[in-house]
Protein backbone atom coordinates (compact mmCIF):
# COMPACT_ATOMS: atom_id res chain seq x y z
CA UNK A 1 0.00 0.00 0.00
CA UNK A 2 1.21 3.53 -0.83
CA UNK A 3 -0.29 6.53 0.95
CA UNK A 4 0.16 10.28 0.96
CA UNK A 5 -0.74 12.22 4.11
CA UNK A 6 -1.60 15.82 3.38
CA UNK A 7 -2.50 18.79 5.58
CA UNK A 8 -1.25 22.04 7.07
CA UNK A 9 1.82 22.31 9.31
CA UNK A 10 1.12 20.93 12.78
CA UNK A 11 -2.18 19.23 11.95
CA UNK A 12 -0.77 15.84 13.04
CA UNK A 13 0.70 14.25 9.88
CA UNK A 14 3.78 12.93 11.66
CA UNK A 15 1.81 11.72 14.70
CA UNK A 16 -0.72 9.78 12.60
CA UNK A 17 1.88 8.43 10.18
CA UNK A 18 3.86 6.95 13.08
CA UNK A 19 0.73 5.20 14.35
CA UNK A 20 -0.26 3.89 10.92
CA UNK A 21 3.26 2.59 10.25
CA UNK A 22 3.38 0.85 13.64
CA UNK A 23 0.00 -0.82 13.09
CA UNK A 24 0.29 -1.71 9.40
CA UNK A 25 4.06 -2.23 9.02
CA UNK A 26 4.58 0.55 6.50
CA UNK A 27 7.64 2.81 6.10
CA UNK A 28 7.39 6.45 7.21
CA UNK A 29 8.94 8.79 4.65
CA UNK A 30 8.99 12.34 6.03
CA UNK A 31 10.80 14.86 3.84
CA UNK A 32 10.95 17.25 6.83
CA UNK A 33 12.77 14.57 8.91
CA UNK A 34 15.14 13.83 5.99
CA UNK A 35 16.04 17.53 5.73
CA UNK A 36 16.44 17.98 9.52
CA UNK A 37 18.74 14.93 9.59
CA UNK A 38 20.82 16.48 6.79
CA UNK A 39 21.08 19.73 8.78
CA UNK A 40 22.12 17.79 11.92
CA UNK A 41 24.83 15.98 9.93
CA UNK A 42 26.07 19.22 8.35
CA UNK A 43 25.76 17.91 4.76
CA UNK A 44 25.58 20.11 1.66
CA UNK A 45 21.85 19.34 1.38
CA UNK A 46 21.43 20.37 5.02
CA UNK A 47 23.20 23.67 4.45
CA UNK A 48 21.05 24.39 1.40
CA UNK A 49 17.77 23.40 3.12
CA UNK A 50 18.43 25.22 6.41
CA UNK A 51 18.17 28.66 4.83
CA UNK A 52 14.66 27.90 3.54
CA UNK A 53 13.40 25.97 6.56
CA UNK A 54 14.29 28.56 9.21
CA UNK A 55 12.34 31.15 7.20
CA UNK A 56 9.36 28.79 6.86
CA UNK A 57 9.78 28.61 3.08
CA UNK A 58 9.82 25.54 0.86
CA UNK A 59 13.03 23.92 -0.35
CA UNK A 60 13.19 24.06 -4.21
CA UNK A 61 11.15 21.45 -6.10
CA UNK A 62 14.13 20.03 -8.04
CA UNK A 63 16.00 19.29 -4.78
CA UNK A 64 12.95 17.61 -3.23
CA UNK A 65 12.20 15.52 -6.33
CA UNK A 66 15.79 14.27 -6.36
CA UNK A 67 15.52 13.21 -2.70
CA UNK A 68 12.19 11.46 -3.21
CA UNK A 69 13.30 9.61 -6.36
CA UNK A 70 16.27 8.16 -4.49
CA UNK A 71 14.10 7.26 -1.48
CA UNK A 72 11.27 5.60 -3.46
CA UNK A 73 13.21 3.96 -6.28
CA UNK A 74 16.84 3.77 -5.07
CA UNK A 75 18.67 0.86 -3.40
CA UNK A 76 16.69 1.12 -0.12
CA UNK A 77 13.28 1.28 -1.88
CA UNK A 78 10.27 -0.12 0.03
CA UNK A 79 6.99 -1.42 -1.43
CA UNK A 80 4.70 -0.03 1.23
CA UNK A 81 5.04 3.50 2.59
CA UNK A 82 3.43 6.74 3.69
CA UNK A 83 4.67 10.03 2.24
CA UNK A 84 4.50 12.71 4.96
CA UNK A 85 5.26 16.25 3.77
CA UNK A 86 5.65 15.37 0.10
CA UNK A 87 4.40 16.47 -2.37
CA UNK A 88 4.10 20.09 -1.30
CA UNK A 89 3.54 21.88 -4.63
CA UNK A 90 1.78 21.07 -7.91
CA UNK A 91 5.21 20.74 -9.57
CA UNK A 92 6.21 18.10 -6.98
CA UNK A 93 2.92 16.22 -7.46
CA UNK A 94 3.38 16.20 -11.23
CA UNK A 95 6.99 15.09 -10.86
CA UNK A 96 5.85 12.28 -8.57
CA UNK A 97 3.22 11.15 -11.10
CA UNK A 98 5.88 10.98 -13.79
CA UNK A 99 8.08 8.82 -11.57
CA UNK A 100 5.17 6.51 -10.73
CA UNK A 101 4.27 6.13 -14.41
CA UNK A 102 7.88 5.33 -15.25
CA UNK A 103 7.98 2.60 -12.58
CA UNK A 104 4.39 1.44 -13.17
CA UNK A 105 3.16 2.00 -9.60
CA UNK A 106 0.41 4.17 -8.13
CA UNK A 107 -0.75 5.85 -4.92
CA UNK A 108 -3.67 4.04 -3.29
CA UNK A 109 -5.04 6.76 -0.99
CA UNK A 110 -4.39 10.42 -0.17
CA UNK A 111 -5.42 11.31 3.39
CA UNK A 112 -6.17 14.99 4.05
CA UNK A 113 -6.13 15.92 7.76
CA UNK A 114 -8.52 18.77 8.45
CA UNK A 115 -8.47 21.03 11.57
CA UNK A 116 -9.03 24.69 12.50
CA UNK A 117 -6.15 27.19 12.14
CA UNK A 118 -6.41 28.13 15.86
CA UNK A 119 -5.93 24.49 16.87
CA UNK A 120 -2.99 24.15 14.52
CA UNK A 121 -1.22 27.20 15.98
CA UNK A 122 -1.79 25.86 19.52
CA UNK A 123 -0.44 22.44 18.56
CA UNK A 124 2.70 23.86 16.93
CA UNK A 125 3.46 26.35 19.71
CA UNK A 126 3.38 23.60 22.34
CA UNK A 127 5.22 20.92 20.32
CA UNK A 128 8.51 19.58 21.63
CA UNK A 129 10.62 17.01 19.77
CA UNK A 130 13.30 14.59 20.99
CA UNK A 131 16.73 15.47 19.63
CA UNK A 132 17.72 11.82 19.74
CA UNK A 133 14.76 9.68 18.56
CA UNK A 134 12.40 12.33 17.02
CA UNK A 135 9.50 11.40 19.37
CA UNK A 136 6.94 14.21 19.40
CA UNK A 137 5.32 15.66 22.56
CA UNK A 138 2.90 18.45 23.30
CA UNK A 139 3.30 20.55 26.47
CA UNK A 140 -0.48 21.02 26.73
CA UNK A 141 -1.95 17.68 25.68
CA UNK A 142 0.88 15.13 25.74
CA UNK A 143 3.67 16.35 28.03
CA UNK A 144 6.74 14.21 28.84
CA UNK A 145 6.81 12.62 32.33
CA UNK A 146 9.98 14.57 33.19
CA UNK A 147 10.24 18.14 31.85
CA UNK A 148 12.65 18.43 28.91
CA UNK A 149 13.37 14.65 28.72
CA UNK A 150 12.07 12.06 26.27
CA UNK A 151 10.01 9.28 27.94
CA UNK A 152 11.32 6.71 25.46
CA UNK A 153 15.07 7.36 25.26
CA UNK A 154 15.83 10.07 27.84
CA UNK A 155 17.03 12.42 25.06
CA UNK A 156 16.79 16.23 25.19
CA UNK A 157 13.50 17.78 24.07
CA UNK A 158 13.73 20.91 21.96
CA UNK A 159 11.46 23.35 20.17
CA UNK A 160 11.86 23.22 16.38
CA UNK A 161 13.34 26.40 14.91
CA UNK A 162 10.31 26.81 12.66
CA UNK A 163 7.84 26.49 15.57
CA UNK A 164 8.43 30.10 16.70
CA UNK A 165 5.31 32.30 16.36
CA UNK A 166 6.41 34.38 13.33
CA UNK A 167 7.62 31.34 11.38
CA UNK A 168 4.38 29.45 12.10
CA UNK A 169 2.42 32.29 10.46
CA UNK A 170 4.73 32.20 7.44
CA UNK A 171 4.42 28.39 7.11
CA UNK A 172 0.63 28.58 7.22
CA UNK A 173 0.70 31.22 4.49
CA UNK A 174 3.06 29.09 2.37
CA UNK A 175 0.71 26.13 2.88
CA UNK A 176 -2.31 28.12 1.65
CA UNK A 177 -0.53 29.45 -1.41
CA UNK A 178 1.63 26.50 -2.49
CA UNK A 179 0.29 23.29 -0.97
CA UNK A 180 -3.49 23.68 -0.65
CA UNK A 181 -3.96 23.59 -4.47
CA UNK A 182 -3.01 19.91 -4.15
CA UNK A 183 -6.38 19.22 -2.53
CA UNK A 184 -8.17 19.88 -5.85
CA UNK A 185 -5.40 18.14 -7.78
CA UNK A 186 -5.95 14.92 -5.78
CA UNK A 187 -9.73 15.30 -5.48
CA UNK A 188 -9.84 14.83 -9.25
CA UNK A 189 -8.03 11.49 -8.88
CA UNK A 190 -10.93 10.19 -6.77
CA UNK A 191 -8.58 8.82 -4.08
CA UNK A 192 -8.71 11.75 -1.65
CA UNK A 193 -10.16 11.05 1.81
CA UNK A 194 -10.84 14.01 4.10
CA UNK A 195 -10.26 13.10 7.76
CA UNK A 196 -11.64 15.25 10.60
CA UNK A 197 -8.56 15.97 12.75
CA UNK A 198 -9.96 18.22 15.48
CA UNK A 199 -10.02 15.68 18.34
CA UNK A 200 -7.33 13.82 20.26
CA UNK A 201 -4.68 11.79 18.39
CA UNK A 202 -6.57 8.59 19.36
CA UNK A 203 -9.83 9.93 17.93
CA UNK A 204 -8.15 11.05 14.70
CA UNK A 205 -6.48 7.66 14.35
CA UNK A 206 -9.90 5.99 14.64
CA UNK A 207 -11.25 8.35 11.96
CA UNK A 208 -8.43 7.32 9.63
CA UNK A 209 -8.92 3.61 10.27
CA UNK A 210 -12.65 3.96 9.63
CA UNK A 211 -11.84 5.46 6.20
CA UNK A 212 -9.18 2.89 5.34
CA UNK A 213 -10.63 -0.35 6.68
CA UNK A 214 -14.12 0.49 7.90
CA UNK A 215 -13.07 0.84 11.58
CA UNK A 216 -11.96 -2.78 12.07
The span from the CA of 52 to the CA of 210, in Å, is: 37
Which range touches Mg ion (CB under 5 A), out of 9-17, 54-62, 69-77, 94-102? 9-17
Q: Which is nearer to ligand G5P, 18 or 192 (CB)?
A: 18
8 part of the interface to Mg ion, by CB under 5 A: no
- Does the active-site annotation cover 88? yes
Q: Which is nearer to Mg ion, 8 or 14 (CB)?
A: 14
Residue 12: which of Mg ion, ligand G5P, none does it interact with, CB under 5 to 8 A by kind?
A: ligand G5P
Give the containing element (helix H, strand E) for 211: helix 201-213
- Does the active-site annotation cover 209? no
- Does the active-site annotation cover 171? yes
Give the nearest distance from C-beta 29 to Mg ion in angstroms: 12
Give the nearest distance from C-beta 184 to ligand G5P in angstroms: 18
- Does the active-site annotation cover 149? no
- Does the active-site annotation cover 106? no
Interface residue with Mg ion, options 7, 8, 14, 95 (CB under 5 A): 14
User: Among 58, 18, 57, 31, which residue's Cα sits nearest to residue 152?
Assistant: 18
Q: Which is nearer to Mg ion, 46 or 97 (CB)?
A: 46
The span from the CA of 2 to the CA of 107, in Å, is: 5
What φ, ψ does residue 108 adopt, rounded to 5°?
Answer: -85, -45
Greatest Cα pair distance in the chain: 49
Active site amino acids: 13, 88, 127, 160, 171
Amino acid sequence: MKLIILGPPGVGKGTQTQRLCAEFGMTHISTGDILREAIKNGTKLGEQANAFMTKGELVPDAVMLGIIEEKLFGKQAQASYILDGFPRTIAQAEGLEKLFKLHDVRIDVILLLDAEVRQIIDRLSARRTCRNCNAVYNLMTNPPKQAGRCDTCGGDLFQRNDDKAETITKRLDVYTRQTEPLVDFYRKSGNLRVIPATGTPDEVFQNIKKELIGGK
